[in-house]
Amino acid sequence: QVQLVESGGGVVQPGRSLRLSCAASGFTFSSYGMHWVRQAPGKGLEWVALIWYDGSNKYYADSVKGRFIISRDNSKNTLYLQMNSLRAEDTAVYYCAREGGPYGGNSDIHYFDFWGQGTLVTVSS
């Protein structure tokens, strides 16, 4: 069965960096696009980033562009989110999610068919 397990969350000071990981299993990771989605405490869902199946293309929300970097290691079945210059407004549960659309993310059809359980990132001094 498909499993996505996030790790790397924690408490970090404003301006510092943190790297999240998402370990995937139960499917051919290298064939699927992958996303990060976050949810601030008591708030709605916010999409963060998408990476194609082969890592050749990446897309970011304007709120994180230039600060966050999405990447993947298909040999390790792992997705990453490098978060730099963190701000208080980045405090959220971060979910990794599998792209359900065709062609590993290289299409106009995007949705999230499987989600991890999430990891909490708190940015506070």
Partner 1 sequence: QSVLTQPPSVSAAPGQKVTISCSGSSSNIGNNYVSWYQQLPGTAPKLLIYESKKRPSGIPDRFSGSKSGTSATLGITGLQTGDEADYYCGTWDTSLSANYVFGTGTKVTVL
- Choose, by CB under 8 A, the member of 44, 66, 75, 125 that binds partner 1: 44
Backbone angles phi, psi at 108, to 5 degrees: -95, 5
Q: Which of 116, 123, 78, 75 is nearest to 94 (CA)?
A: 116
Asked if 46 is part of the footprint of partner 1 (rule: CB under 8 A), the reply reads: yes
Asked if 103 is part of the footprint of partner 1 (rule: CB under 8 A), the reply reads: no
Shortest spacing between CB 13 and partner 1, in angstroms? 27
Shortest spacing between CB 117 and partner 1, in angstroms? 6
- Choose, by CB under 8 A, the member of 8, 30, 54, 59 that binds partner 1: 59
* DSSP H helices in 1-125: none
Strands (E), 26-103: 34-39, 45-51, 58-60, 68-73, 78-83, 92-99
**Which positions lie near partner 1, rule CB under 8 A?**
35, 37, 44-47, 50, 59-62, 65, 95, 100, 108-118
